[in-house]
């Protein structure tokens, strides 16, 4: 019972974080068709801004929406500076990889310069611990397990039930046709980046509440998000969400039975095998659409 | 069976230098480089040049798979890392002669490249990036987990150096190492240029530019991809081995994102599908980075800004920049697209 509960909590918790990260990556891939390597530093930057805002004494209920707005603006600005000018070039996928990698290195080192190398920690969403099914868990982790699906459901609602969300999906499906019916494609690209950065920042705040923050804290989650989107298929937003929880559980099981050291290697082996058998991911279809 | 086509029957492509001109230019350039140790006498400056040569080998070989092949191989640095660790392990635990171990490291990197090519044969674009990226992480995790041999996160220290007879490699102001590195770069460059100018190279380019048409004309995508990746791996592995023998230590940092970003920016800054562009950019970036050595955290910031700036303004990289300024100065018509 103890082992099952531990795996269950570990899987749900990691899965929630991965889902928050992966959805943002998938959103940008489906709408613009590029891969955003700044996603990890967006997460880190969100956590650092939240730290500064809570240091100057703002209540956490105010910090959270403020960070989301600021990071959405950062995401928009990033898109306008290193992605939008390249759209239409034949080798855009590759060039965006390098510009976003460079931007990530820029932001990471700027963070180091501004905030210094000392590790920091955010206050947890809810303080305290509890015991469920014989396993001690912090209320912070439980809060994340509860909040993440709500956020993801809200995103699903936005993409499927609102005009703006539908417009975003339209751009993802057929850019030329969207342009013809009068959608502002450039603004929608910016919107995709803004939402993605805000989601990453939220994940960063979640993570900063239980782990020490450092300028490189986003690297590992970015890697995991990459695996998740490949595993789930890049063609949808719901695929990566399922895949995130699946991988969360896979990791929890692996690290329980094989140890933490072998988990990443096993994960990558599974990834490579998945791609050999189903290159479009386990939940993917062959087309590039959204939701 | 097709009879070999006489050389005269292959139409010379416009704007491409004849191989005699190119060979002459390469020989002159390397002769100039070979004279450098007589001008640059302090060992630190020589060290910077040696590092530039190593990076140039890695970057120009990456240009073969990335630029010519159009295969987004993000595991290229893993091949370098495999060379580093193969040399370290072979000399330390198998007691193999350093020179032989260096060649063997190139072979091992080539085999690794063939292994990673198998899962990406059916894949395209972004999926290739992800699988090769995953491959690099996999190799790193394996090295980390075998810490009894590889030293894990601590890395390997006191790796055997290369030797030339009784010559003291350490106290000659890096004189011998300079020439070994230069020779390595020379061999690699000649190999790469000969390959891309050959019929195999034409097949690689044809696959990149129009896969369906190339396949319909009998270019085998499986064979060509394996050849591309394997060819780009050998000298990369040798460079890794040289790096290990030269630095005398191996660390897991060679698999990190920062080194990959720097080398990738050398390839892209130089301009893809030129080989020379990557080599030139390696020199520029390495020396540039050394010039900013005391700027601390500002160094990567400035480098990143430079990369973004060049990518936005000159999508074809330094090679394109030189080409366009050359045309501007000499008022040549720009026939080459």
What's the CA gap between A94 and A37, in Å, rounded?
Answer: 11
A96 touches chain B (CB under 8 A): no
CB-CB: which of B127, B133, B301 is closest to A110? B301
3-state secondary structure B254-276: HHCHHHHHHHHHHHHHHCCCCCH
Average pLDDT over residues B84-97: 93
pLDDT by residue (tens digit) across A203-218? 999 988 888 888 888 8
Q: Is the CATH number 1.10.3470 carried by domain A2-277?
A: yes
What 3-state class would DSSP assign to A222? helix
Mean pLDDT across B71-96: 92
Residue A216 near chain B (CB below 8 Å): no
Sort out which chain A residues have CB atoms less than 8 A from B119's CB and list them.
272, 275-276
The per-residue pLDDT for range B118-130, each reduced to its tens digit, is: 888 877 777 788 7
Q: Taking each helix axis from N to C terminus, what angle separates A2-32 and A39-55, rounded to the nearest 10 degrees?
A: 110
User: Which residue among B134, B145, B258 sits closest to A271, beta carbon to beta carbon?
Assistant: B134
Interface membership of A282 toward B (CB under 8 Å): no
pLDDT along chain A (291 residues), means of 10: 78 90 88 87 94 88 92 95 84 83 90 86 79 77 90 90 87 82 88 94 90 85 84 77 90 83 77 74 56 38
- Contacting residues of A for B304, CB less than 8 Å apart: 102-103, 105-106, 109
pLDDT on residue B311: 81
CA distance A119 to A142: 24
B99: pLDDT strictly greater than 70: yes
Sequence spans of domains, chain B: 41-254
> Would you say B298 and A86 are in contact if contact means Cβ atoms under 8 Å apart?
no
Which element (helix H / strand E) includes A88?
Answer: none
SS3 readout for chain B: CCCCCCHHHCCCCCCCCCHHHHHHHHHHHHHHHHHHHHHCCCHHHHHHHHHHHHHHHHHHHHHHHHHHCCCCCCCHHHHHHHHHHHHHHHHHHCCCCHHHHHHHHHHHHHHHHHHHHHHHCCCCHHHHHHHHHHHHHHHHHHHHHCHHHHCHHHCECCCCCCCECCECCCCCCCHHHHHHHHHHHHHHHHHHHHHHHCHHHHHHHHHHHCHHHHHHCCCCHHHHHHHHHHHHHHHHHHHHHHHHHHHCCECHHHHCHHHHHHHHHHHHHHCCCCCHHHHHHHHHHHHHHHHCHHHCCHHHHHHHHHHHHHHHHCCCHHHHHHHHHHHHHHCCCCCCC
Q: Nearest Cα to A291, choosing from A154, A176, A195, A159?
A: A159
Q: Which residues of B touch A103 (CB under 8 A)?
A: 304, 308
Q: List pLDDT tens digits, range B239-280.
A: 999 999 999 888 888 887 778 888 988 888 887 788 898 999
Does residue A229 contact residue A26 with C-beta atoms inside 8 Å? yes
Q: Helix and strand tally (H, E) in chain A?
A: 11, 2
Beta-ladder partners of A213: A120
- Closest approach of A81 to chain B, Cα-based (Å): 9
For residue B138, list chain A residues with Cβ-Cβ distance below 8 A. 265, 268-269, 272
């Amino acid at each position: 019972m103890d082992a099952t509960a531990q795996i269950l909590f570990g899987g749900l918790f990691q899965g929630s974080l991965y889902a928050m990260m992966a959805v943002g990556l998938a959103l940008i891939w489906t709408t613009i068709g590029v891969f955003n390597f700044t996603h990890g530093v967006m997460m880190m930057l969100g956590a650092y801004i939240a730290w500064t805002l809570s240091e100057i004494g703002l209540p956490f209920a105010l910090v959270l929406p403020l960070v989301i707005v600021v990071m959405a603006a950062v995401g928009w600005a990033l898109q306008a500076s290193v992605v939008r000018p390249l759209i239409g070039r034949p080798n855009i996928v590759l060039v965006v990889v390098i510009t976003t990698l460079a931007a990530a290195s820029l932001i990471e080192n700027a963070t180091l310069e501004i905030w210094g190398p000392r590790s920091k920690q955010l206050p947890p969403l809810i303080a305290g611990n509890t015991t469920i099914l014989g396993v001690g868990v912090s209320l912070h982790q439980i809060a994340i397990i509860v909040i993440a699906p709500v956020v993801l459901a809200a995103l699903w609602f936005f993409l499927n039930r609102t005009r703006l969300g539908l417009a975003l999906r339209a751009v993802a499906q057929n850019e030329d046709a969207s342009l013809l019916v009068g959608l502002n494609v450039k603004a929608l690209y910016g919107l995709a980046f803004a939402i993605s950065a805000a989601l990453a920042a939220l994940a960063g705040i979640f993570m900063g509440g239980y782990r020490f923050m450092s300028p490189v804290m986003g690297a590992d989650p970015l890697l995991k998000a990459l695996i998740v989107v490949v595993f789930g298929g890049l063609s949808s937003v719901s695929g990566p969400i399922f895949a995130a929880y699946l991988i969360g559980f896979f990791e929890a099981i692996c690290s329980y039975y094989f140890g933490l050291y072998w988990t990443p290697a096993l994960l990558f082996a599974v990834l490579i095998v998945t791609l050999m058998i189903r290159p479009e991911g386990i939940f993917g279809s062959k087309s590039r659409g959204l939701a | 069976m097709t009879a070999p086509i006489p050389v005269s029957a292959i139409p010379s492509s416009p704007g491409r230098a004849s191989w005699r001109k190119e060979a002459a230019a390469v020989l002159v350039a390397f002769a100039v480089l070979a004279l450098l140790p007589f001008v640059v006498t302090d060992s630190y400056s020589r060290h910077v040049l040696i590092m530039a040569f190593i990076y140039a080998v890695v970057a120009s070989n990456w240009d073969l798979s990335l630029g010519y092949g159009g295969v987004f191989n993000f595991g290229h640095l893993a091949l370098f890392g495999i060379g580093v660790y193969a040399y370290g392990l072979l000399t330390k635990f198998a007691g193999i002669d350093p020179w032989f171990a260096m060649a063997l490291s190139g072979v091992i990197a080539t085999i690794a490249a063939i292994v990673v090519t198998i899962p990406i044969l059916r894949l395209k674009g972004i999926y290739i990036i992800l699988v090769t990226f995953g491959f690099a992480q996999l190799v790193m995790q394996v090295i980390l987990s075998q810490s009894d041999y590889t030293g894990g996160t601590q890395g390997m220290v006191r790796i055997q150096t290369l030797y030339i007879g009784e010559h003291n490699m350490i106290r000659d102001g890096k004189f011998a190492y300079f020439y070994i590195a230069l020779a390595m770069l020379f061999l690699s460059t000649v190999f790469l240029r000969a390959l891309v100018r050959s019929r195999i190279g034409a097949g690689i380019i044809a696959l990149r530019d129009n896969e369906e048409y190339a396949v319909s004309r009998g270019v085998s995508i499986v064979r060509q991809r394996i050849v591309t990746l394997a060819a780009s791996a050998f000298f990369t592995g040798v460079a890794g081995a040289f790096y290990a023998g030269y630095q005398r230590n191996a660390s897991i940092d060679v698999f990190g994102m920062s080194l990959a970003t720097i080398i990738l920016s050398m390839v892209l800054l130089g301009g893809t599908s030129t080989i020379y562009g990557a080599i030139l950019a390696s020199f520029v970036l390495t020396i540039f980075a050394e010039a900013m050595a005391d700027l601390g955290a500002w160094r990567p910031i400035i480098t990143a800004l430079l990369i973004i700036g060049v990518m936005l303004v000159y999508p074809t990289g330094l090679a394109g920049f030189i080409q366009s300024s050359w045309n501007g100065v000499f008022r040549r018509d720009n026939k080459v697209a």
